[in-house]
A and B are shown apart, each in its own frame.
Chain A
């Protein structure tokens, strides 16, 4: 039992930070409008500056199996680049938000908004932008793919790091100040180490969405021009277009291999290493076996020496006496200058808001008709129906399975790893397979494409249910056995209330992922035929393919609104309630 405990304590510790409870505030609404306004401004002013979309001279893709290792390598390197960029962004963004109260007031809600924008919808803009900056160059297409993956990871990582920077234990902070560490030293020796577990965890968790986005972004059609960056995603897309089932299968296997390598070489050693930086004492991680990669690192002299050199160099940089010594706890500055600054601050913010509102309204009125907006909103409800329906279906299947798996520590540990793996696998690689089936049997795409939105997202639910069931207090289960509580009563009174806080975390994540997946799921290609289901995802996908930017923008904004409103009105209050009433402390 204890072994299983330690395995999960890592994730559950973070699952509480995964979901900061914020409720809809006026600031969120104001910021949403500011974001839209600035986006309109950027779109209308930068758009004309960019040249016409010139697809780069990409080398033709081959379906030969010998090409696959090369493509797999390219896909993995793209992911690595995106991770690096996300990491740099995270450090800058989270640090700024944690250090400046004023900046935090904008940056933190902004993360919520960014997290609800469907990343795939974004693709139309990033491709147009980067190909406009680098017309006809491979660089443009590559950057667009990497940037899109970045947008799927960065917000989550930044919000995780912000949480941990804000929760540095007070006594450690005092010790750092008391022993005269400078701001720079304190950052590297106290604050960054505190953030490492959350950083690693969030990076690992955002890989799931990351692979999904990456394979999608490798083969996009923007403005009727197909842009295929060599990689696994484009390989599978090409195979689907040529109805080559064998090549699709080979692509799937290659993806599996890439994910395995990532997990073994990058994340397992990182997780073990990061456990050193966990703050709660008394948790033994002896259960964590040393991964073979770490062992190899330790045993291989040249690797060890270079890693040691790297670490000690970082240590040296971290202990440079840059900045001033940290003085006494801040006292609120003189009231007068404070209020003046405050007024100025709100004044500027108000000005930005008003001009953003004006921009948005003007653009909205000139570009869209009421009928069009209505049409898009109706499409949104179609997709909402899909997402909610599939959430229910997935819950019906996975909650019992998850409970069954989670209550047995051995089963739980095994299942946990497999599910983690399934979650990381980009479900959209399977979409062509399903499309082939739908075409072959002449089924209705509206109905049969629906499960695809949950194909990748369902694992979040299973994941959290296993976590919840395995941390359910054994004593309470024994009480149930003792009084022979069975059947529906057992589910209703004993196990379900215990796992609901966990389950809701999973549902929140699954719902977000499902909305994003809808873009890929509601419009799938097999051969020359494109299957379409009614919905907002299909609308955005089609507008992207046609290169109709203002329609894409409308679709993306409406979808983001659906996600945000769903979060604010349903998931947040529910989780809030569950954490207050049902959390077993």
Chain B
């Protein structure tokens, strides 16, 4: 399915690499249980002259990896070589662009841009010359004396870019640089950046872009590393065979994007991004281990199933197309699809999603029947729901403390994921009228003449 690599000049793997990350692992300490592994044995090499993309879902550790490469974070194990030397802290030749722009609100555009020069002690005429030339290059001329809050998002991110470029870094790191912008602005800035790069006007040798947007990665990058989640690992490395500027309507381009969707849904973990239990201890049998659930609301699942069942799709859809049609980001689409798969209402296959018979039945039913189907699906496919219901049935009071379930979940996942999982389960169970939850008392309980 992969198009054959064409013979562009940007093939990696010659001369000394700019950055080399070896066996990087990163885990967060938890006071109580085992450490949570965020990155697991990641190896990466970056050469001069290429744009590399780190593609993955939120929580896959790609931003953490970027911070390790920037020298902002020390990896738990493994090492980073910067031009052959071990990296210890922020290095001179590495500059970073942030998702939230990270501009200092009390500095003007010019002062923000000059920050790196000030820190280096570059003053006077040289500072002014460097600042002025990068401001012109990046299209900020005329905005020098504006405060960041006066600028649109696009102009703010241009300022962030100029601030990174003014120090003439060898490596430019970008952490989801366009994801906080609207579609048009993002497109405009992305095109400008790629244009400057291909015209070799950017004072950088290589760029590393973190993104969760598949199309964006294919538009910009020469090489794409696809991250799998929990713990973060590089699952696939793809070389993008197209020359700049790239045309997203080109069939070969579309096919490449499709291919990445297929790779990212292939062998997908039964549950979402947060499935730590299976990641850390793959040996454990599926029954007892609770899986983390993403924050997916019942209305989103119903909306998705109804869209799938409706005429143009008739039960089966191509994921990239569906994402565009429903205007869903990757981080919404995958958790949604995987939740449906978990409940046996849909299946993911080769970058496609298709409704199961149960799913079709659900869409055709009325509200009462839908609740019954959902309750059946929850009891059969979500062990946590089954367990809560059993406990509630056994108790004469038909009520039980939520804390014990939270604790049990925390054995296999972080407290944040445990909270999120409970929240999702409560939302689903309320729809199915299986049980209710009292927030103030932190208790699950059955309504007086409760379900079943």
Are B119 and A281 in contact, with the CB atoms below 8 A? no
Are B118 and A329 in contact, with the CB atoms below 8 A? no
Are A328 and B98 in contact, with the CB atoms below 8 A? no
Question: What's the nearest-Cβ distance from chain B to residue A477, in Å?
Answer: 26
Interface residue from B100, B105, B119 paired with A179 (Cβ < 8 Å): B119
A332 contact set on B, CB distance < 8 A: 29
* Count of chain A to chain B residue pairs whose CB atoms are closer than 8 Å in the complex: 90
A177 contact set on B, CB distance < 8 A: 72, 90
Bound together, the chains give a CA A283 to CA B148 distance in angstroms of 12
A190 contact set on B, CB distance < 8 A: 104
Are A169 and B102 in contact, with the CB atoms below 8 A? yes
Are B163 and A179 in contact, with the CB atoms below 8 A? yes
B167 contact set on A, CB distance < 8 A: 179
Are B100 and A171 in contact, with the CB atoms below 8 A? yes
Bound together, the chains give a CA A178 to CA B98 distance in angstroms of 11
A175 contact set on B, CB distance < 8 A: 96, 98, 102, 104, 115, 163
Interface residue from A174, A176, A185, A277 paired with B106 (Cβ < 8 Å): A277
Residue B67 lies at the interface, judged by CB distance under 8 Å to chain A:
yes
Are B149 and A282 in contact, with the CB atoms below 8 A? yes
Are B440 and A581 in contact, with the CB atoms below 8 A? yes
Which residues B29-85 have CB closer than 8 A to chain A?
29, 67, 70-74
Interface residue from B94, B100, B105, B121 paired with A277 (Cβ < 8 Å): B105
Bound together, the chains give a CA A130 to CA B393 distance in angstroms of 73
Are A281 and B73 in contact, with the CB atoms below 8 A? no
Bound together, the chains give a CA A248 to CA B116 distance in angstroms of 60
Are B105 and A278 in contact, with the CB atoms below 8 A? yes
Q: Which residue of B lies closest to A180 (CB)?
A: B119
A319 contact set on B, CB distance < 8 A: 118-119
Binary interface encoding of chain A residues 179-202 relative to chain B, with 1 for a CB under 8 A from any of its CBs, else 0: 111100100011001001000000
Are B98 and A171 in contact, with the CB atoms below 8 A? yes
Question: What's the nearest-Cβ distance from chain A to residue B77, in Å?
Answer: 11
Q: Which residue of A lies closest to B68 (CB)?
A: A328
Q: How many residues of B contact A (CB 8 A)?
A: 33
Q: A180-B119, A180-B120, A282-B149 are in contact. Are A174 and B74 (CB under 8 A)?
A: no
Residue A279 lies at the interface, judged by CB distance under 8 Å to chain B:
yes
Which residues A106-130 have CB closer than 8 A to chain B?
none
The range of chain A's interface size is: 20 to 34
Residue A573 lies at the interface, judged by CB distance under 8 Å to chain B:
no
Binary interface encoding of chain B residues 117-152 relative to chain A, with 1 for a CB under 8 A from any of its CBs, else 0: 011110000000000000000000000000111000
Are B149 and A174 in contact, with the CB atoms below 8 A? no
Q: Which residue of A lies closest to B71 (CB)?
A: A328
Bound together, the chains give a CA A280 to CA B76 distance in angstroms of 34
Bound together, the chains give a CA A278 to CA B106 distance in angstroms of 8
Are A327 and B98 in contact, with the CB atoms below 8 A? no
Interface residue from A185, A193, A321, A331 paired with B104 (Cβ < 8 Å): A193
Q: A171-B98, A180-B116 are in contact. Are A328 and B105 (CB under 8 A)?
A: no
B100 contact set on A, CB distance < 8 A: 169, 171
Are A331 and B116 in contact, with the CB atoms below 8 A? no
Q: A171-B98, A277-B105, A282-B149 are in contact. Are A321 and B70 (CB under 8 A)?
A: no
B440 contact set on A, CB distance < 8 A: 581
Residue A326 lies at the interface, judged by CB distance under 8 Å to chain B:
yes
Q: Which residue of B lies closest to A282 (CB)?
A: B149
Which residues B147-186 have CB closer than 8 A to chain A?
147-149, 163, 167
Interface residue from B89, B96, B115 paired with A325 (Cβ < 8 Å): B89
Residue B88 lies at the interface, judged by CB distance under 8 Å to chain A:
yes
Most buried by B among A171, A176, A180, A331: A180
Question: What's the nearest-Cβ distance from chain A to residue B110, in Å?
Answer: 13
Q: Which residue of A lies closest to B92 (CB)?
A: A180
B119 contact set on A, CB distance < 8 A: 179-182, 185, 319, 321
The 8 closest A-B pairs by CB, nearest first: A327-B89, A171-B102, A179-B116, A175-B102, A328-B74, A180-B119, A193-B106, A181-B119
Can you list 15 contacts pairing A with B, beta carbon distance less than 8 Å?
A: A175-B98, A177-B72, A178-B70, A178-B95, A179-B90, A179-B163, A179-B167, A180-B120, A185-B118, A190-B104, A279-B105, A327-B71, A327-B90, A328-B74, A329-B74
